[in-house]
């Protein structure tokens, strides 16, 4: 049987072995991120200059990320050293930026906004605030000097290049002799319209220069009635003269000096009048011959001719009518210069 003193001694020895085993297990477990952050922040807060900088320390499973802005490369190196020498640090990722303008030495320390407890990340994060008191180490054994953790420098930011200048407008000159085909929109009538009247039209076919479309199809155009001549009561032929005076291309209007288009009536008034008057005289002579022989034929012819003349004088001659959608061709007498956006120039369509 053991004595009470031996039992007490054996119990104390078992407790000592148990506590020492727990301490060794804890020392070999994964690093405590909160302890790492607290140690680094404590070193930064002890520095009179670095404690005024906006520095953030994040640790996750021993990997420390440094963010914020410092005043010089020397300050950046000092912060890296503090992080590398902290116990439990496996790697240091340096994303600190060096400010282009010096910071005030007495700058107030930044205060981190409180985070919602449900949105708090798992990794420990802290801004330059008075560091919390690190928990007491359970192991009384002196820690071994840890090797400096590797530093990973973030790549420098690439500044975006300035955009290229916008393309400049292009000037294209259509030489004299260029043929422009247009299609009328408004009808033209020699019995109604007068010199100086203008009419709407559109470009019927695209105008090309050096194989590129300069004036697209359906561009707006204006036609002017230069002169109009209506057939007389007895003789004459109706005709009209038109010219192209304006083109509108890509929103800009251009004055045009073009050739004159002329169109006459299908029949002459003089020929038609002779036929009507002659026909009236023949009919009158026939009636007079039946009524009173040769003398009656002469009288009937005179009466018939007079009647035919009266009928012809009371009617209008054939007029010139140009309906809508009539295609007319004009030739430039002087060159015109057009200012076009570069993207408007296109290849001719098949």
Q: Residue 199's pLDDT is what?
A: 96
The two tokens of residue 224 are: 């002017």
Q: Which of 115-124, 169-178, 310-319, 320-329 is the least confident region? A: 115-124
* Phi, then psi, of 241 in degrees rounded to 5: -125, 125
Residue 32 has pLDDT above 80, yes or no: yes
Q: Residue 7's pLDDT is what?
A: 63
Q: Residue 31's pLDDT is what?
A: 75
* Measured distance CA(339)–CA(250) in Å, rounded: 9
Q: What percent of the chain has pLDDT over 90?
A: 25
Q: Quick one: DSSP state of residue 332?
A: B
Q: Residue 326's pLDDT is what?
A: 94
* Phi, then psi, of 135 in degrees rounded to 5: -65, 150
Q: Residue 72's pLDDT is what?
A: 87
Q: Residue 129's pLDDT is what?
A: 57
Where along the chain do its domains lie?
29-111+121-133+147-153, 169-266+320-350, 268-317
Strands (E), 128-250: 151-153, 170-174, 179-184, 188-189, 198-203, 207-209, 212-215, 220-229, 239-249
The two tokens of residue 221 are: 């155009």
The two tokens of residue 79 are: 């912060």
Which helix or strand (DSSP H or E) is residue 66 part of? strand 63-70
The answer to whether the Cα torsion of 246, 249, 254, 259 is positive or negative is: negative
23 vs 36 pLDDT, higher one:
36
Rounded to an integer, the average pLDDT of 229-251 is: 81
What CATH code would you report for 169-266+320-350? 2.40.128.260
pTM: 0.41
Residue 264 vs residues 71, 189, 318: alpha-carbon distances, Å: 91, 12, 10
Mean of the per-residue pLDDT values of the chain:
74
pLDDT band at 164 (very low <50, low <70, confident <90, very high): confident
pLDDT band at 245 (very low <50, low <70, confident <90, very high): very high
* Measured distance CA(206)–CA(249) in Å, rounded: 11
pLDDT band at 314 (very low <50, low <70, confident <90, very high): very low
Rounded to an integer, the average pLDDT of 141-158 is: 65
Q: Residue 248's pLDDT is what?
A: 95
Closest CA to 195 of 220, 229, 233, 246: 229
Q: Which of 19-33, 52-66, 81-95, 241-255 is the least confident region? A: 19-33
List alpha helices for the chain, DSSP H.
Answer: 4-27, 33-46, 73-84, 269-313
pLDDT band at 162 (very low <50, low <70, confident <90, very high): confident
Q: What does the pLDDT look like over 172-187, one tens digit per residue?
A: 999 999 999 999 999 9
Q: Residue 236's pLDDT is what?
A: 62
* Measured distance CA(350)–CA(68) in Å, rounded: 63
Residue 122 has pLDDT above 90, yes or no: no
Count of residues for the chain?
350
The two tokens of residue 106 are: 């007495």
237 vs 231 pLDDT, higher one:
237
Q: Residue 54's pLDDT is what?
A: 83
Are 143 and 300 in contact by the 8 Å Cβ rule? The answer is no
Residue 316 has pLDDT above 80, yes or no: no
304 vs 257 pLDDT, higher one:
257
Are 206 and 348 in contact by the 8 Å Cβ rule? The answer is yes
Burial 46-85 (b: 16+ CB within 10 A, else e): eeeebbbbebbbbbeebbbbbbbebbeeebbebbbebbbb
Strands (E), 75-219: 91-98, 124-127, 151-153, 170-174, 179-184, 188-189, 198-203, 207-209, 212-215
29-111+121-133+147-153 placed in CATH 3.30.300 = yes
* Measured distance CA(76)–CA(44) in Å, rounded: 12
Bridge-based pairing state of the strands 91-98 and 151-153: parallel
Which residue has 């963010």 as its token pair?
Answer: 67
Pick the most confident of 53-57, 115-119, 302-306: 53-57
Burial 125-138 (b: 16+ CB within 10 A, else e): bbebeebeebeeee
Q: Quick one: DSSP state of residue 51?
A: G
* Measured distance CA(94)–CA(77) in Å, rounded: 10
134 contact partners, CB below 8 Å, separation of at least 6 = 35, 38, 39, 42
């Amino acid at each position: 049987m053991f004595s009470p003193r031996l039992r007490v001694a054996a119990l104390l020895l078992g407790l000592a072995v148990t506590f020492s085993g727990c301490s060794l297990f804890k020392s070999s477990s994964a690093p405590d991120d909160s302890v790492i952050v607290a140690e680094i922040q404590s070193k930064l807060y002890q520095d009179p200059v670095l404690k005024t900088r906006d520095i953030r320390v994040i640790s996750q499973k021993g990997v420390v990320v440094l963010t914020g802005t410092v005043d010089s490369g020397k300050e950046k190196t000092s912060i890296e050293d503090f992080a590398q020498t902290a116990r439990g640090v496996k790697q240091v990722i340096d994303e600190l930026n060096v400010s282009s303008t010096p910071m005030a030495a007495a700058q107030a320390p930044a205060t981190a906004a409180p985070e919602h407890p449900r949105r708090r990340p798992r990794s420990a994060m802290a801004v330059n605030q008075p560091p919390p008191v690190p928990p007491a180490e359970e192991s009384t054994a002196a820690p071994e000097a840890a090797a400096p953790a590797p530093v990973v420098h973030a790549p420098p930011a690439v500044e975006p290049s300035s955009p290229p200048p916008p393309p400049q407008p292009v000037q294209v000159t259509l030489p004299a002799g260029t043929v422009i085909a247009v299609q009328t929109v408004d009808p033209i009538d020699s019995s109604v319209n007068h010199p100086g009247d203008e009419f709407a039209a559109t470009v019927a076919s695209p105008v090309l220069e050096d194989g590129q479309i300069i004036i697209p199809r359906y561009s707006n155009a204006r036609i002017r009635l230069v002169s109009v001549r209506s057939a007389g009561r007895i003789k004459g032929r109706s005709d009209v003269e038109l010219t192209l005076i304006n083109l509108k291309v890509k929103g800009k209007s251009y004055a045009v000096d073009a050739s004159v288009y002329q169109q006459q009536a299908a029949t002459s008034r003089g020929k038609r009048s002779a036929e009507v008057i002659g026909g009236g005289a023949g009919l009158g002579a026939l009636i007079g011959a039946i009524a009173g022989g040769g003398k009656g034929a002469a009288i009937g012819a005179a009466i018939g001719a007079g009647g035919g003349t009266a009928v012809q004088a009371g009617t209008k001659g054939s007029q010139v009518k140009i309906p809508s959608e009539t295609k007319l061709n004009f030739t430039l007498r002087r060159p015109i210069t057009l200012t076009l956006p570069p993207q408007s120039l296109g290849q001719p369509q098949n």
